[in-house]
Structure 1
Amino acid sequence: MSRSLAALVIGNSKYKKAGKLKNPANDATDMAAVLTACGFSVTSVVDGTHKQMDKALGDFKAALKGHDVGLFFFAGHGVQIGGENFLAAIDVKTADETEAKHSSLALNKVIDTMEAADTKTNIIILDACRNNPWARAWRGGEERGLAPVYAPRGTLIAYATSPGQLAGDGKGRNGAYTAALLEHMATPDVTVEAMFKRVRNTLSATTAQKQISWEHTSLAGEFYFNLSVAARITDYGAAALGDDLFELDTSKKSHKIIASLKTLTWPRQNPAIDEITPALIAKVAADTLFVLGRNIYQSAAGNANSAIAYINDFTAKTTGTDKNDRKALLDGMLFEIFFDKTGTLRDQPKFRRFNEVFDLQRFAACKPSFDFIAACLLPYAGRYYAIPGKGHKVIADVRLGEKEKDAVLEVFVAGQQVLRRDSDDLPAWDDDEDKIYYRQRSKAQFKAWLEEELIVPARLLKIGYSRDVASGETLRVPMGWTCRLPA
């Protein structure tokens, strides 16, 4: 089960004619991070002018094409004028209601934009029910909070508080409503309606029931911000995807082999690998083959020679097996690279035999397994320059020093400079964050390092240098620096 999700997130704090709000910019930044982790492609606007907000909505309209789900989030001043809601830009004109309307983003325009898109589900979240700071200057008087609106089919509109009521800035980094959202949004396998109920309970508790969130929904189907792998992938059972739950029955030969592979000792692993024959594979259930594949990979990553040879000769070793059995074995190997024993995405892939497994992508018979791992990783697309399994090439352009010609200064991928200091990996013996230390690497070692940093197979990574680099030349790479995308 794969999903394509797009979001526009706006947070306005620095209002020119209403003073600065403490939380909205933080709300937008943190919301964008959570949505990215949940698989959304996110566009963010912080402290947007009317022109910037209007352009962002236009870009969002184009981005929604081909997506299943659209989400719009706004934190900042929202005002009700004549029964309609407007989301105030930081340069909103406040002399009267008419000027305010025409220098703000109309909520109805957001709703119409999303309704016109061919998305199955649309979600609009508004942390914008603060009091109107300009009401006294307007002849119409104050209309408290935001007005209820019609939610088209397939749409959920969520407010920080009930219609006509007010919400205040939070005491910490985030507004009280957004803080509750951030607490619950990424909880695995909770429907969007159930998630908002949890938000309401948390918000009620943290504000002593002074602020009660509210939703208007006409959703036609179920939506989950965070689907666990077990919920998204139906090819295998939960005990196989999180193989610490897999119960071994050593009276079965296949289970006995898995138990031997789990010992992490070569004298037991190598003979066990040699027992994996096409005849054995034909008698084994898909879940067991998947777990067997996982353990073949972990044995190879631990340098068990027979496991390494089995991966390198995978197509020959599985000749004559049913295509679904072969797929289950390879699915397990690929899954082990990216997911731990609980079925949770690893912070860093298990990379040691990454290239050997991904070399199998060259064979047409192995394509279904690479489609499988790409589907598993799609919700985490923001962590990859190219989703592993898709077969997309990545080009990295490396700028070397002019005076210190062997020093790696910058690495560009898709036009972006991605080499950055990793604050968690500074040399333990020196806390001078401004000083750069270097590690010498051969050209081949640097390529291998970059493959791991970018999580790209060797055959799909092309590196260009700002000058010719000889094959035997040594480069200096900054210590404690990384090219990985932030998690």
Structure 2
Amino acid sequence: MSRSLAALVIGNSKYKKAGKLKNPANDATDMAAVLTACGFSVTIVIDGTHKQMDKALADFKAALKGHDVGLFFFAGHGVQIGGENFLAAIDVKTADETEAKHSSLALNKVIDTMEAADTKTNIIILDACRNNPWARAWRGGEERGLAPVYAPRGTLIAYATSPGQLAGDGKGRNGAYTAALLEHIATPDVTVEAMFKRVRNTLSATTAQKQISWEHTSLAGEFYFNLSVAARITDYGAAALGDDLFELDTSKKSHKIIASLKTLTWPRQNPAIDEITPALIAKVATDTLFVLGRNIYQSAAGNANSAIAYINDFTAKTTGTDKNDRKALLDGMLFEIFFDKTGTLRDQPKFRRFNEVFDLQRFAACKPSFDFIAACLLPYAGRYYAIPGKCHEVIADVRLGEKEKDAVLEVFVAGQQVLRRDSDDLPAWDDDEDKIYYRQRSKAQFEAWLEEELIVPARLLKIGYSRDVASGETLRVPMGWTCRLPA
């Protein structure tokens, strides 16, 4: 199950005629990060002028084509004028209501834009019910918050507080509403409506019931910001995806083999692998084959020779087996690389036999398994330079020093310099943040390290250097530095 999700996120803090709001820029930045982690393609605008906000919405309209879900988030000043809502740009003209209307982004324009798109689900989130700093100058009246609006079919509109009421900036990095939203939005397998109920409860508690969030929804189906693997992948049962839930019945030969592979001892693993024949595979249930594939890979990663050989000779070893049985075995191997025994994405893939498995992508018969793992990883696309399984090449350009010719200074991918200090992996003795320590690696070792850092198979990673590097040359690589994308 794959989803195509697009979001436009705007946070306006630096108002020219209303002073600075503390939270909106942070709110937008943090929302963009969590939406990216949930699989959205995100466009973010910080401190947008009226012209910039209009252009961003026009670009968003074009981006929504071909997407299943569209989301619009705004944090900043929102004003109600004549019963309509307007999202204030940082250069909003404030002499009177007419000028303000025509120098702000009309909420109705956002709604109309998203309604006209061919998206199944549209979500609009507004942390914009703050006090109107210009209300008294315009009318001498009270500040009124935002007005309720009609939500077209397939649309949910969420407000930081109830219509006509006000929301304030938070005490910390985020506004109270966005802080509650960030706490709950990525909870796995919770519908969007249930998630907003959780937000409402948290917000009510943190503001002593002074601020009650509100939604108007016309959604026709269910939407989840974060679907767990078990909920997204229907090919296999939850007990197979979460390997530790799989119950072994050692009266069955296939289960006995799995039990031997789980011992992590070569004298038991190697003979067990040798018992995996096409005749056995034909008798084994699909979920069991998937779990068997997972344990073949973990045995190979532990250097069990028979498991390594099985992967290297996978197409020959499975000749004559049903294509769906072969797929289940390879699906399990690929899944084990990226997901742990609970079915949760690993912080770092289990890389030791990564290249051997991904070499199988050369065979047309194995393509369905690589499509499977790409679908599993799609919600985490922001963690990868290229989604594993998609067979996309990645080009890395390495800049070496001019004076210290063996020192790796920069690594560029898609025009971006990606080599950075990793605060989680600094040498224990490194108390000088400006000091760089180096580790010597052969060219082959450096390129293997880069494959792991970029999570790209060797055959799909093309590495160029700023000068010719001999095959036996030694390079110096900064210790405690990484090319990984932030999680």
TM norm. shorter chain > 0.5: yes
Deviations 1:440-461 (A, max 9, x none): 1111111111111000000000
Partner Cα separation in structure 1 for residue 164 and residue 77 of structure 2: 14
Deviations 1:266-297 (A, max 9, x none): 00000000000111000000000000000000
Partner Cα separation in structure 2 for residue 53 and residue 469 of structure 1: 48
Question: Is the CA contact (8 Å cut-off) linking 1:4 and 1:68 kept in structure 2?
Answer: yes
Identity %: 98
TM-score by structure 2 length?
0.98
Deviations 1:61-90 (A, max 9, x none): 121111111101111110011111111111
Partner Cα separation in structure 2 for residue 195 and residue 120 of structure 1: 19
Partner Cα separation in structure 2 for residue 350 and residue 62 of structure 1: 39
Secondary structure, aligned partner of 1:138: helix
Which residue in 2 is equivalent to 1:407? Answer: 407
In structure 2, the CA distance between the partners of 1:485 and 1:15, relative to structure 1 (3 Å rule), is: same
Question: Is the CA contact (8 Å cut-off) linking 2:131 and 2:143 kept in structure 1?
Answer: no
Higher deviation after alignment, 234-243 or 18-27: 18-27
Confirm or deny that 1:483 pairs with 2:470: no
Question: Is the CA contact (8 Å cut-off) linking 2:85 and 2:147 kept in structure 1?
Answer: yes
Partner Cα separation in structure 2 for residue 80 and residue 425 of structure 1: 50
Higher deviation after alignment, 11-20 or 327-336: 11-20
Partner Cα separation in structure 2 for residue 62 and residue 480 of structure 1: 41
Partner Cα separation in structure 2 for residue 220 and residue 143 of structure 1: 34
Question: Is the CA contact (8 Å cut-off) linking 1:377 and 1:387 kept in structure 2?
Answer: yes
Partner Cα separation in structure 2 for residue 283 and residue 216 of structure 1: 53
Secondary structure, aligned partner of 1:398: strand
Question: Is the CA contact (8 Å cut-off) linking 1:411 and 1:417 kept in structure 2?
Answer: yes
Across the two proteins, how many residue pairs are aligned to each other? 487
Secondary structure, aligned partner of 2:139: coil
Measured after TM superposition, the shift of residue 431 of structure 1 is: 1.3
Deviations 1:389-441 (A, max 9, x none): 01011111111112222211111111111111111111101211111111111
Which residue in 1 is equivalent to 2:309? Answer: 309
Deviations 1:281-339 (A, max 9, x none): 00000000000000000000000000000000000000011000000000000000000
Runs of 4+ in 1 over 2 A off after TM superposition: 139-143
Partner Cα separation in structure 1 for residue 169 and residue 184 of structure 2: 19
Deviations 1:372-395 (A, max 9, x none): 000000000010010000101111
Measured after TM superposition, the shift of residue 98 of structure 1 is: 1.5
Partner Cα separation in structure 1 for residue 98 and residue 479 of structure 2: 58
Measured after TM superposition, the shift of residue 140 of structure 1 is: 7.1
Measured after TM superposition, the shift of residue 101 of structure 1 is: 1.3
Partner Cα separation in structure 2 for residue 56 and residue 352 of structure 1: 44
Higher deviation after alignment, 443-452 or 326-335: 443-452
Root-mean-square deviation (Å): 1.0
Higher deviation after alignment, 216-225 or 468-477: 468-477
Partner Cα separation in structure 1 for residue 51 and residue 481 of structure 2: 38
Measured after TM superposition, the shift of residue 41 of structure 1 is: 1.1
Measured after TM superposition, the shift of residue 142 of structure 1 is: 4.2
Deviations 1:180-214 (A, max 9, x none): 11111111111101111111111111112111111
Partner Cα separation in structure 2 for residue 63 and residue 140 of structure 1: 42
Measured after TM superposition, the shift of residue 114 of structure 1 is: 1.1
Unaligned stretches of 5+ in structure 1? none
Partner Cα separation in structure 2 for residue 383 and residue 56 of structure 1: 25
Measured after TM superposition, the shift of residue 19 of structure 1 is: 1.3
Which residue in 1 is equivalent to 2:95? Answer: 95
Which residue in 1 is equivalent to 2:334? Answer: 334
Partner Cα separation in structure 2 for residue 467 and residue 48 of structure 1: 43
Higher deviation after alignment, 155-164 or 103-112: 103-112
Partner Cα separation in structure 2 for residue 202 and residue 139 of structure 1: 35
Deviations 1:190-244 (A, max 9, x none): 1101111111111111112111111111111110000000000000000000010
Partner Cα separation in structure 2 for residue 98 and residue 406 of structure 1: 64
TM-score by structure 1 length?
0.98
Which residue in 2 is equivalent to 1:297? Answer: 297
Deviations 1:348-387 (A, max 9, x none): 0000000000000000100000000000000000100100
Partner Cα separation in structure 1 for residue 450 and residue 61 of structure 2: 36
Deviations 1:103-153 (A, max 9, x none): 211111111111121111110000000110011111374450111111111
Partner Cα separation in structure 2 for residue 405 and residue 6 of structure 1: 44
